[in-house]
Amino acid sequence: MALQAATSFLPSALSARKEGSVKDSASFLGVRLAADGLKLDTTALGLRTVRVSRSADIRAQTAAVSSPSVTPASPSGKKTLRKGTAVITGASSGLGLATAKALAETGKWHVIMACRDFLKASRAAKAAGMDKDSFTVVHLDLASLDSVRQFVRNVRQLEMPIDVVVCNAAVYQPTAKEPSYTADGFEMSVGVNHLGHFLLARELLSDLQSSDYPSKRLIIVGSITGNTNTLAGNVPPKANLGDLRGLAGGLNGVGSSVMIDGGEFDGAKAYKDSKVCNMLTMQEFHRRYHEETGVTFASLYPGCIATTGLFREHIPLFRLLFPPFQKYITKGYVSEEEAGKRLAQVVSDPSLTKSGVYWSWNKNSASFENQLSEEASDADKAKKLWEISEKLVGLA
């Protein structure tokens, strides 16, 4: 009876392999359930009390059952920090993968690789030599709000705390003549890079808030090209959100524009605009939630990782010439590995807990607080962006 009670109140994952569940007895016992139910609930009360005092152990146990390869470290005394959990979007390649690897190698982190191609992510983690207990792949397609919502439910089923969320995934369509759209009808670059992440971050904020980890962070990867106070940001086309009229119109190209400012479609500008949105969103999160929750909100530019798949849709000549151009002419080139280490720093370094910061690194690989452009610092625009985005993703 105790075991049965335990089963009925533990997450459904524990019953995943049982044929015939408590559900069966519930429907067939009818009134008799009432009497047994009382006993069940009384027993469950005891179980619940135990769970309160030994929550970490129960959590580890549950996790071990629901996902055999996941065994988060249990704390062995007050002074030992438990293994942290970091959700990283777009972790199947480039910066996301390098970061996942850097964190996993420390042995102090479990990485949830949130990727739209499950097989690719599984292979990438294996190829990167990540220990199988250090990561869990969970499907996430930021081009669908339904997928974001499913991801959130799915992650919660893992019964792991969520300590850090890294919004890293991005698409870039520099040569597209016509826009493409997400499942919900938004232009792809802004739909994936901003709106999908906006919903994800909003949903997971409550999980971050309830985590017992000492340093909880929400990190949104930025890009220097969104900042028009730099040389890179002045390469045409320049980012410009205007008055957000296109965004307010839904970015669906039906009766309105697919660009945030209402202008004509430009794939590169759509990407840069989405990055400005990311940086505005980070700051708005900071203003609204940092004091209230203690969560640190940050953005960063790790450097130009010219070798990633972000440029896969560019012409081959660009992909050939861009790395040496960045390496020898602009000196802005950084390897994927180094970029991953930098992002991992922002995830875990105790000295980088200041919130509301846009981090960058100098030539000696030392981090510093960089300045955002005027538009990317515009608090009114950030507020407006937030409110329109809430409506678009169904939060308002």
In angstroms, give the least distance from the CB of 255 to a second copy: 18
In angstroms, give the least distance from the CB of 24 to a second copy: 6
Select from 213, 216, 219 the least CA-distant residue to 73. Answer: 213
Total residue length of the chain = 396
In angstroms, give the least distance from the CB of 110 to a second copy: 15
In angstroms, give the least distance from the CB of 223 to a second copy: 23
Which positions touch a second copy (CB under 8 A)?
A: 12-13, 16-21, 23-24, 26-27, 30, 33-34, 37-38, 41-42, 44-45, 48-49, 52, 55, 66-69, 116-119, 122-123, 126, 136-139, 141, 143-144, 146-147, 149-150, 152-154, 156-157, 182-183, 203, 205-206, 209-210, 394
Rounded to whole angstroms, the Cα distance separating 275 from 281 reads 10
State which amino acid sits at residue 56: A
Q: Say if residues 340 and 102 touch (Cβ distance below 8 Å).
A: yes
Query: CA-based Rg of the chain, rounded to a whole angstrom?
Result: 23
Neighbours of 20 (CB within 10 A): 8
Q: Say if residues 226 and 373 touch (Cβ distance below 8 Å).
A: yes
Angle, helices 197-209 vs 267-293, to 10°: value is 20
Q: Say if residues 62 and 13 touch (Cβ distance below 8 Å).
A: yes
Query: Would you say 93 or 373 has its CB closer to a second copy?
Result: 93
Helix (H, G, I), strand (E, B) or coil at 347: helix
Rounded to whole angstroms, the Cα distance separating 73 from 126 reads 21
Q: Say if residues 63 and 71 touch (Cβ distance below 8 Å).
A: yes
Query: Would you say 203 or 284 has its CB closer to a second copy?
Result: 203
Query: Would you say 59 or 381 has its CB closer to a second copy?
Result: 59
In angstroms, give the least distance from the CB of 34 to a second copy: 6
In angstroms, give the least distance from the CB of 386 to a second copy: 16
Q: In what order do the strands lie in the sheet containing 217-221?
A: 135-139, 109-115, 84-89, 164-167, 217-221, 296-300, 357-361, 367-370
Taking the CA atoms of 277, 283, 289 and 295 in sequence, report the sign of the dihedral they define: positive
Neighbours of 3 (CB within 10 A): 8
Helix (H, G, I), strand (E, B) or coil at 361: strand
- Tokens representing residue 193 in the block: 């890079």
Token pair 């930021």 is found at 142
Q: Phi first, then psi: what are they for 219, rounded to 5°?
A: -115, 130
271: annotated active-site residue:
yes
User: What is the Cα 194 distance to its own chain's centre?
Assistant: 11
Query: Would you say 58 or 232 has its CB closer to a second copy?
Result: 58
Query: Would you say 156 or 245 has its CB closer to a second copy?
Result: 156
Q: Which of 181, 213, 271, 333 is catalytic?
A: 271
Query: Would you say 343 or 392 has its CB closer to a second copy?
Result: 392
Query: Would you say 153 or 177 has its CB closer to a second copy?
Result: 153
In angstroms, give the least distance from the CB of 393 to a second copy: 12
Write out the H or E segment, with its range, that includes residue 47: helix 32-53
Active site residues: 271
